Amino acid sequence: MLGRRSLYWRMVLLVAGFCLCMIAVTDYAAQRVDSYLAHLPESTLRELRGYAADAASALDQGVDALNAWRDQHAELSPEILVVVDAALQALPGQPLSDEQRNMLTFLRSYMAPMSMRGGGRQVIYVPMQGRDESLVLRLPESLTPWAVRPLLNALVLYLMPALLSLLFCALLYMLLISPLERLRRQANAMRANPLETLLPAELAGRRDELGELGRSLDYLTRRLRDSIGQQRQLLRDVSHELRTPLSRLRVAAESDLSQRELRERLEHEVDRMQELLDGTLEVAWLDSQPGQLQLEAVDLNALWEVLREDALFESGWAPERISAELPDDCRVQGHLNGLSQALENVLRNAIRHSPDNGLVQMRAQREGANWLLCLADQGPGVEEAQLEQIFRPFSRLNSARPGDGGFGLGLAIAERQIRLQGGRIWARNGHPGLQLWFSLRAV
């Protein structure tokens, strides 16, 4: 469906406006040309008045003198050249043919607009100054106003549409080509700099297809920049984390440890490096996911019981130290394996940072269309300024949360798993302890 702000409607308005504008301008210009050419210029009017004055002078001398003047100027108007009275009747003594007498019925004032009919040479009458008589003649070919009409027609019918077409192309360029050119420059710039070129504000504000294309390109630029930044950071962190176990292995190889102690040290360091690589690959895979995971209805009570049993077995805690207050109808839309991994990482993190005889509790409450889950421990908590930092890979705030550290990947994996399920995770200090909150859509 075409939206109200679609580029299609702008194109329709532009093309329709161009066509209507060309028709209106051409029609107006043609009318102005016709009006301009229909009236005899002042030089022609003066020349015609001169002929009328000469005829009046001949008439004052008598009919014979008038006829002699007519014969002398016959080439001026071979079809008809006669003097008429106020009733537009030929004066006596002027020989006229039947055709010439018929012409007297179609007289036109020399001041009236001329017509292109009959070759543009109308039969006109020119009043004699100070007399009732008028000189009648057919407009000479040399005095017709149509000589420049082909040039004016060329201006109106060819040059003016060409100028309007240039204006139309300029508007079309501003509407389509110019934004595309800016997008092309942005795409080319992405090859030459660290993805810092962003969409111009005037293009980002458009609500048509070009604006959507620009915002998509801008989103792609940001996503590529963030992805490359995350990969570089992961590489830096992994290389840093690998140096420590490799250094310990080198020291162990150069020491006088017994074979059993060397084997134990080797197994320990290999397990640590395997844990590091598995977690790093997991984070990188989750960051590369383009959308959400496939969701299904998950019963949190059943999932929690499985996770609780595994956590009790691994930690050796008494059952009463890990509890939950979950309503019977606590079911969410989630990815079973992803949600299980996120909750397991958070639960392990809470157990790792809990004090002796500390408690870990899970509770849930309904809020609109979502379930809010909270897993709280009784550890020392985290500084307020670092509550968001704990979800970044390799963030280990040992000064605030002492314990057997890990690599700071558990909460980063949990945050990405929850985000890919359309949910959200955040941290708060519980005074004492740390509270990790989840928001997931309810079933």
The overall longest dimension of the chain from CA atoms, in Å, is 155
What does the alpha-carbon distance between residue 46 and residue 52 come to, in Å, rounded to a whole number? 10
* Structure confidence at residue 343 (pLDDT): 92
pTM: 0.49
Q: What is the pLDDT of residue 399?
A: 43
Per-residue pLDDT of the chain (443 residues; tens, 9 = 90+): 566 777 778 788 888 888 888 888 888 888 887 777 778 888 899 999 999 999 999 999 998 899 999 999 989 998 999 999 988 888 888 888 888 888 888 888 988 888 777 667 889 999 998 888 999 999 888 888 776 777 777 777 788 888 888 888 888 888 778 777 777 777 776 666 656 656 666 676 677 777 777 777 777 777 777 777 777 767 776 776 677 778 778 888 888 888 888 888 888 788 778 877 777 777 776 766 666 678 899 999 999 999 999 999 888 999 999 999 999 999 999 888 889 988 998 998 899 889 888 999 999 999 999 999 999 999 888 888 888 888 887 766 544 443 345 567 788 888 888 888 889 999 999 888 899 999 999 98
- What single string gives the DSSP state of each residue in 76-129? G-SS-EEEE-TTS-BPTT----HHHHHHGGG-EETTSPP-SGGGG--EEEEEPT
Spatial separation of the C-alpha atoms in residues 254 and 251, rounded to whole Å: 5
pLDDT for residue 54: 93
Which pLDDT does position 401 carry in this prediction?
41
Distance separating alpha carbons of residues 363 and 325, to the nearest angstrom: 5
* Contact criterion met (CB below 8 Å) for 437 and 374: yes
Name the token pair of 92.
Answer: 């006596």
pLDDT at 161: 82
Three-class DSSP category at 407: coil
